[in-house]
A and B are shown apart, each in its own frame.
Chain A
Amino acid sequence: MADVAAIRSPDIKKQSGFAFIAGSCIAVLYLPMLVVIAYSFNSANNLGAKWHGFTSNWYNVVLANTEFYDSTILSLIVAAAATLISTVLATAAALGTTRGRPWRGQGSAYLAITTPLVVPEIVTGISLLSLFAFLSTVTGIDLGIWKLILAHSAFCIPFAYLPIRARLEGMDTTLDNAAADLYATPWKTFRYVTMPLLVPGISSGAALAFIVSFDDFTITQLIAGPGETTLPLYIWGRIRRTLTPELNAMCTLLLLISLAFIVLSFILSHRRRA
Chain B
Amino acid sequence: MLNVKKEFGHFQAVDHVTLNIEPNEFFTLLGPSGCGKTTLLRMMAGFETPTSGEILLDKRSIAGLLPNGRPINTVFQNYALFPHMTVAENIGFGLKMLGRRRNEIVPVVEEMLRLVRLEGAGERPVTKLSGGQQQRVALARALAPRPKVLLLDEPLSALDLKLRQSMQIELKRLQAETGITFVFVTHDQEEALTMSDRIAVMSKGRVLQVGSARDIYEHPADRFVAGFIGETNFLEGTIVEAKGRVARVRLKSGADVAAAMPEGLPTSGDVTIVVRPEHLQIAADKDAALCATVETVVYFGTDTHVHLRLKDGSPVIVRQQNRRDGTAPPDVGTEVGLSIPDGVAQVLKD
Contacts and interface: CB of A to CB of B under 8 A. Distances in A.
Q: Do A and B come from one complex?
A: yes
Interface of A: 172, 174-175, 177-185, 188, 192-193, 196-197, 272
B230 to A, nearest CB: 32
Contact of A180 (B68, B98, B141, B142): B68
What 8 A-B pairs are tightest by C-beta distance, nearest first?
A182-B94, A178-B80, A183-B97, A180-B67, A174-B80, A184-B97, A181-B74, A183-B68
B305 to A, nearest CB: 40
Contacts of A180: 46-47, 66-68
B82 A174 contact: no
Interface of B: 45-47, 66-69, 72-74, 76, 78, 80-84, 93-94, 97-98, 141-142, 145
A127 to B, nearest CB: 41
Contact of A272 (B84, B97, B141, B142): B84
B78 A172 contact: yes
Contact of A181 (B45, B78, B83, B98): B45
Contacts, number: 61
B98 A177 contact: no
A178 to B, nearest CB: 4
Contacts of B68: 180-185
B115 to A, nearest CB: 17
Greatest chain B CB density within 10 A among A172, A182, A193, A197 is at A182
Given A179-B82, A185-B68, 20 more contacts: A172-B78, A174-B76, A177-B76, A178-B76, A178-B82, A179-B93, A180-B67, A180-B68, A181-B46, A181-B68, A181-B72, A181-B74, A181-B142, A182-B145, A183-B68, A184-B68, A184-B93, A185-B97, A196-B84, A197-B83
A83 B346 CA distance: 74
Nearest to B77: A174
A89 B324 CA distance: 76
Contacts of B73: 181-182
Contacts of B97: 179, 182-185, 188, 192
Chain A contact residues: helix, strand, loop or mixed: helix
Contacts of B76: 174, 177-178
Nearest to B42: A177
Contacts of A177: 45, 47, 67, 74, 76, 80
Greatest chain B CB density within 10 A among A179, A181, A196, A197 is at A181
A175 B142 CA distance: 13
A272 B82 CA distance: 13
19 contacts: A174-B76, A174-B80, A177-B76, A178-B76, A178-B81, A178-B82, A179-B82, A179-B97, A180-B46, A181-B45, A181-B73, A181-B142, A182-B68, A182-B94, A182-B97, A183-B145, A184-B97, A185-B97, A196-B84
B83 A183 contact: no
Nearest to A174: B80
B248 to A, nearest CB: 55
B142 to A, nearest CB: 8
Given A180-B68, A183-B97, A188-B97, A197 B78 contact: no
A196 B82 CA distance: 10
A181 B144 CA distance: 12
Contact of A175 (B69, B80, B145): B80
A182 B75 CA distance: 11
A18 B181 CA distance: 64
A95 to B, nearest CB: 18
A78 to B, nearest CB: 33
A185 B99 CA distance: 12
Nearest to B70: A181
Contacts of A181: 45-46, 67-68, 72-74, 142
Contacts of A193: 82
A216 B24 CA distance: 66
Contacts of A178: 74, 76, 80-82
A184 B94 CA distance: 7
A239 B272 CA distance: 96
A183 B81 CA distance: 15
A96 to B, nearest CB: 20
A14 to B, nearest CB: 35
Contacts of B47: 177, 180
B161 to A, nearest CB: 25
Contacts of B98: 183
Contacts of A182: 68, 73, 93-94, 97, 141-142, 145
